[in-house]
């Protein structure tokens, strides 16, 4: 019995090493230089690789760089795997939302604040199958899960001068705008705000950015496309694609990829609860790390800032 090896999101950079497995490779990282000799007609259709590349060491290799497509922001590893799944069976278009999650989790929307190129075509599949809705909204992370003041405090793209990493100033900012932080005792999140409240905050944030000398083009990054998973519960970390990706990332970081797999496969009970525990633990570690760095102190040389964590 022959064992099939399929490398996803890796393998292109070590073509020679993995060739002994005669594997399938769906990757978006820069491949080995020798891979650029693969014929053009073999680069775009994985299903034809067997006939066209029978003489090659790696017959089944799908990588955007081999077709002059930038794997940094035009398609992710999840995207290449999705394209193969779609070719194997068109019914797999209903997996397109997973490739969207993979793309935003890989920050492939950060350059233009929206998905482009091949990612855009995959996004179209996700929209047409009814799993994803797209809208313009604040680009700060945590629209669904973070209290309003935390959404502002932890925002780094965009960076809010005087607000980022300053909870007190964030609270004053919202108080000055008369934005209630709670409703009937419940903490309010960005998605709980009215249209007028969001508009007011965005207007003030834009004015803040411009007043601090941030160029108009950079200030426009305050808004971006956001990708909503329509089949997920509103307010959960699964409803927003970036937050979904962060949840999956926490599974990988703590060596529990099988939990992330089960969640993508539809588990919304035991495995999801375990993922929430991993995510909350990850948040605690991040907070402790930030506190530790603050205690160490940051040496600021203008364009260069550093902290010394050497304990030897």
Count Cβ atoms below 10 Å from residue 265 Cβ, excluding itself: 9
* pLDDT tens profile 174-229: 999 999 999 999 999 999 999 999 999 999 999 999 999 888 888 888 999 999 99
DSSP summary character for residue 306: E
Report whether the peptide linkage leading into residue 255 is cis, meaning its omega lies within 30 degrees of zero.
no
When mean pLDDT is compared over 158-162, 286-290, 298-302, the highest value belongs to 158-162
pLDDT, position 56: 45
With H, G, I as helix, E, B as strand and everything else as coil, classify residue 271: helix
Count Cβ atoms below 10 Å from residue 108 Cβ, excluding itself: 27
**Cβ-contact 59, 38 below 8 angstroms:** no
What share of the chain in percent tops pLDDT 90? Answer: 60
pLDDT, position 224: 94
* pLDDT tens profile 253-296: 999 999 999 999 999 999 999 999 999 998 888 888 888 888 88
Strands laid side by side in the 24-26 sheet: 6-8, 24-26, 60-62
Q: String of b and e for 202-221 (b: at least 16 CB within 10 Å)?
A: eeebbebbeeeebeeeebeb
* pLDDT tens profile 146-155: 999 999 999 9
C-alpha–C-alpha distance, residues 102 and 261, integer Å = 12
* pLDDT tens profile 10-61: 888 777 777 777 788 889 988 765 554 544 444 444 444 434 333 444 457 8
C-alpha–C-alpha distance, residues 160 and 80, integer Å = 35
DSSP summary character for residue 133: E
At residue 182, what are phi and psi to the nearest 5 degrees? -135, 155
pLDDT, position 34: 55
pLDDT, position 59: 59
0.75 surpassed by pTM: yes
* pLDDT tens profile 115-144: 999 999 999 999 999 999 999 999 999 999
Q: What is the mean pLDDT of the chain?
A: 87
C-alpha–C-alpha distance, residues 52 and 42, integer Å = 6
Got the DSSP string for 61-122?
Answer: EE-GGGGT--TTTT--HHHHHHHHHHHH-GGGGGGHHHHHHHHHHTTTTTTTTS--HHHHHH
Q: Does the pLDDT of residue 93 top 60, yes or no?
A: yes
């Amino acid at each position: 019995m022959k064992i099939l090896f399929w490398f996803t999101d890796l393998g292109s950079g070590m073509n020679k090493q993995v060739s002994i497995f005669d594997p399938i490779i769906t990757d978006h990282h820069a491949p080995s230089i020798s891979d650029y000799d693969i014929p053009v007609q073999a680069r775009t259709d994985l299903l034809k690789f067997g006939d066209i590349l029978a003489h090659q060491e790696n017959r089944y290799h799908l990588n955007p760089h081999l077709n002059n497509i930038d794997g940094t922001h035009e398609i992710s590893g999840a995207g290449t795997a999705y394209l193969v799944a779609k070719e194997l069976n068109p019914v797999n278009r209903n997996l397109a939302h997973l490739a969207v999650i993979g793309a935003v989790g890989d920050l492939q929307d950060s350059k233009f604040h929206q998905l482009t190129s091949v990612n855009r075509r995959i996004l179209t599949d996700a929209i047409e199958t009814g799993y994803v809705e797209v809208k313009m909204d604040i680009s700060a992370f945590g629209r669904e899960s973070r209290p309003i003041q935390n959404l502002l405090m932890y925002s780094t793209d965009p960076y809010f001068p005087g607000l980022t990493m300053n909870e007190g100033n964030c609270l004053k900012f919202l108080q000055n705008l008369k934005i209630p932080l709670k409703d009937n005792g419940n903490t309010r999140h960005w998605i709980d705000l009215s249209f007028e409240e969001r508009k007011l905050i965005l207007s003030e944030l834009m004015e803040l950015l411009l007043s601090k000398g941030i160029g108009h083009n950079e200030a426009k990054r305050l808004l971006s496309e956001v990708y909503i998973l329509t089949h997920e519960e509103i307010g959960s970390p699964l409803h927003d694609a970036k937050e979904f990706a962060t949840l999956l990332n926490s599974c990988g970081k703590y060596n529990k990829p099988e939990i992330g797999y089960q969640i993508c496969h539809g588990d919304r009970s035991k495995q999801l609860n375990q993922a929430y525990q991993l995510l909350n633990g990850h948040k605690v570690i991040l907070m402790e790390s930030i506190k530790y760095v603050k205690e160490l102190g940051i040496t600021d040389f203008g364009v260069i800032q550093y902290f010394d964590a050497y304990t030897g």
